[in-house]
Structures are given as structure tokens and as C-alpha cells.
Chain A
Amino acid sequence: MRYSRQIVFEKIGVEGQEKINGTNVTILGLGAIGSKSAELLTRAGIGSLTLIDRDIVEESNLQRQSLFTEEDINQPKALVAKARLEKINSNTKIRAFFKDINNKNIEDYVRPAMALDCTDNMQTRFLLNEFCFKEKIPWIYTAIIESTGMLFSIMPEKTPCLTCIFNEINQPLDSCDVSGIINTIAPLASSIQATEAIKYIINKPTTKELLYFDVWKNKIEKIKVKKQIGCPTCNSRFSYINGKKTNDAIKLCGTNSYQIQGPKLKLKEVAGKLEKIDKVILNDYCLIFKDLTIFSDGRVLIKAPNDKQARSAYTKYIGY
């Protein structure tokens, strides 16, 4: 029997397995953490997964993003992941969206029963934090860099939320491309994240502490956190889901890239203009030109040393 080892594990049992088989989990981001967590939950027999990712597979992803192979380069991560996961477990229903999540569309994609944060930037996390608080969707913050990771299971109204723990970030945080990352930290973070998800699904208590772990130092720290009386999110003073603060232009982890969100684009028309300047690669999903990767939904990923130069390149080649 497919899940016999998990059912024999006394903390899960038959009842727990039935709950796992009947639950939907949304995975936001399919990088190093998201691809491994998606695989673990699929193998565990999760009922359905909603996968969301805005990126295509790049060669530098292959070092740590376990669902992807060389033949997937330049393909959307969400669609590649769906195809691979369906081969692992055909019983898991998978919906995959090659989308960027923002305040205008988050309610269309992030659904109950819970969400796993596998994103690569704090602005999207603050958006997710507000949305999940408002909709009472439990979610698990998880992040990694170098040999370290951080995780906290957030149960809206019951536990502290992300803005109880972190201040509004007012300078770019180190990214994987600057600080680097060892690939062994990702499976550790995903293992804890997927275990926390299973614990929630089968009605067992999740961690009440912020976890900090370092695979190089063989260290796991537990830090007690508490609700902040003045926390804007816990007091329903939102600024991300209503668009007061946007995640339109953000630095992406691991790629030395910036994303600028503009109006929708007709890629063939854009290609026609740009190929007069330099070589253009156009496929069904994106247009690649110099340091720009352009998507029809208006997103442009720009490799640049700073946001100003990214905006300059955007204006120069896209024109808005």
C-alpha cells in the first residue's frame, strides 16, 4: 500500500493520512524550497497542490532546485514542476500558474487550506502575511541563504504574524547571488516546512517558536516570539493588499535581477522592434533580449547592479 509507512508512523495513522489525502496546499514560489516541499507533500499523498511561480528555469537553478533538469532550461518552473510531480504521484491534483502574485490577483491563486511561503523576497511575504491574516489562512514563512534558514508557522489570530517579528525592511537584504547558498540547506528547510504543514493538516500543534538553523554549524535555534500590540497587520491596518505599498519593482534573490511590472505586452510586436537592435530569443513563454526577460503579462526581469539601472534599461527597451 502506497502510504503504509506513513500510516504505521503512529503520529499520522489512518486518520491522519486521510486528512493529508483530502487537503489542498498552495505553494508560492518553486525555487529551492518550493520544489522540494512540493515533492515531499506529493509523495506524502497530499490531495491537491496549487503551484505558483513567475520564473523560468535557469542553468544556475539546477544546483539546488530539485525538480528541474537541464532540458527544462527556459521553461516556466510552475509548468515543469506540475509535469514532474504528476509523474511522482498521479493521485495528487495539481494546478500550476506561471504568474507573479500581487495585490490585484493574490485572492485568485492563494487558497485554503494553507499556504507555504517559498518566495524569494520580503515584499511578497508581507503581501501574503496580510492576505492570509484577512482570509484566516495558515501559512509557513520559510527562507534560506548561505548555509542558514529561518521558519515560522503563522496561524492567523492565534500566533504572532510576520510583522510581529520583522520590521518593515528599508534596505535590500542579501540575496543568494551575492552571498551564495549551499544546496544542502534547501532540503533541510523544506523538510521542516513540509513537516509543519503535515502537522497542521492532521490537527497536531505546529511550532510556536521562530526557528533559525544553520546546516554548516549543525545548529537549530528556537526563538520565542510574541504578538506585538501595535502590529499593523494584527490590527487590520493593511498596506500591501490594498496597494498602498506595491511589489511592482523588486530585487529578486539568486539572479542579481530586478522585476518591473508594467502594462501587458504583445511579445511578437516587442520582438519585432528589439531585433533591429540585437539578437532576440522568443518562445511561447517569454522574450529574451540582452539582460531582459520579458513576459506578456507585462513583467520584465532585468539583470542589473541596482534598481536605477534596471529602470533605465526598462525605459530604454520597453518604452514605458
Chain B
Amino acid sequence: MPAVYLEREDKMIKVNELNVKDILKKLNINPTTVIIARNNELITEDAVLSENDKIKILPVISGG
């Protein structure tokens, strides 16, 4: 099961889904409001994960 670290919530969760798009949908996260990193490399919502992958979900920041 892939592990998902939610940066803003500072929380790690396990998910059954392998498609990033499905993970975001399950977590009720709008894909345009976040970026996703695997091994500190940006991936798109079209990426497919392996069972042992760990990803981070970070919010897009727009304040200044």
C-alpha cells in the first residue's frame, strides 16, 4: 500500500489506490490546489504508484 504524507496536516496515511488521481479523489483534494512529490521529485496526477511508494502532497501557495 502506498503511503501518503499530507504536508499541511503533518499526517501520514496508507491508501489502497495506486493512481494518484484516485488518491486525490478519495482524499477529496482538488488536484489544482496541490503539488505531489515522489522521492522529492514532482509527479503529475496521472502518475501510477508502486505498492511501496511514498508520496507527499503539498499545498500550492499563493500569498505574498
Residues of A within 8 A of B (CB): 29, 31-34, 117-122, 125, 142-145, 148-150, 165-171, 173-176, 181, 210, 212, 217, 221-226, 228, 253-254
Query: By the criterion CB–CB under 8 Å, are A34 and B64 in contact?
Result: yes
Q: A219: nearest residue on chain B (CB-CB)?
A: B7
Q: Which residues of B contact A (CB under 8 A)?
A: 7-8, 10, 30-33, 35, 37, 40-42, 44, 56, 58-64
Number of A-B contacts (CB under 8 A): 89
Q: Given contacts A29-B64, A120-B63, A145-B62, is CB(A167)–CB(B40) below 8 Å?
A: no
Which listed residue (B37, B56, B59, B63) contacts A254, Cβ 8 A? B63
Instruction: Return B62 CB to nearest CB of chain A, in Å.
Output: 5
Contacts A224-B41, A224-B42 given; indicate if A171 touches B63 (C-beta within 8 A): no
Give chain B nearest CB distance to A164 CB in angstroms. 9
Q: Do A118 and B42 touch (CB < 8 A)?
A: no
Shortest beta-carbon distance from B38 to chain A in Å: 10
| A33 partner residues in chain B, CB cutoff 8 A | 64
Q: Which residues of B contact A150 (CB under 8 A)?
A: 58, 60-61
Residue pair A171, B33 in contact (C-beta under 8 Å): yes
A117 to B64, CA, bound (A): 9
Contacts of B62 in A (CB 8 A): 120-122, 125, 143, 145, 169, 173, 175, 253
CA distance A280 to B59 in the complex (A): 40
Cβ contacts under 8 Å, A171 to chain B: 30, 32-33
Most interface-central of B10, B33, B63 (chain A CB within 10 A): B63
User: Do B42 and A212 touch (CB < 8 A)?
Assistant: no
CA distance in complex: A33, B62 (Å)? 12
The residue in chain B whose Cβ has the minimal distance to the Cβ of A177 is B63
Nearest 8 A/B pairs, CB to CB: A143-B61, A145-B63, A120-B64, A253-B63, A150-B61, A224-B41, A167-B32, A173-B62
Residues from chain A with a CB closer than 8 A to the CB of B41 are 223-225
Closest to A179 in B: B63
Q: In the bound complex, do residue A176 and residue B35 qualify as a contact, i.e. CB atoms below 8 Å apart?
A: no
Question: Is the pair A166, B64 in contact by a Cβ cutoff of 8 Å?
Answer: no
Decide: A122 and B30 in contact? CB cutoff 8 A: no
A144 CB contacts on chain B under 8 angstroms: 61, 63-64
Minimum CB–CB distance from B5 to chain A (whole Å) comes to 11
Q: Nearest CB to that of A186 among chain B residues?
A: B64
Chain A residue nearest to B37 in the complex (CB) = A223
CB-CB < 8 A to A148: which residues of B? 8, 59, 61
- Residues of B contacting A29 in the complex (Cβ-Cβ under 8 angstroms): 64
Q: List the B side residues contacting A145 at CB < 8 Å.
A: 59, 61-63
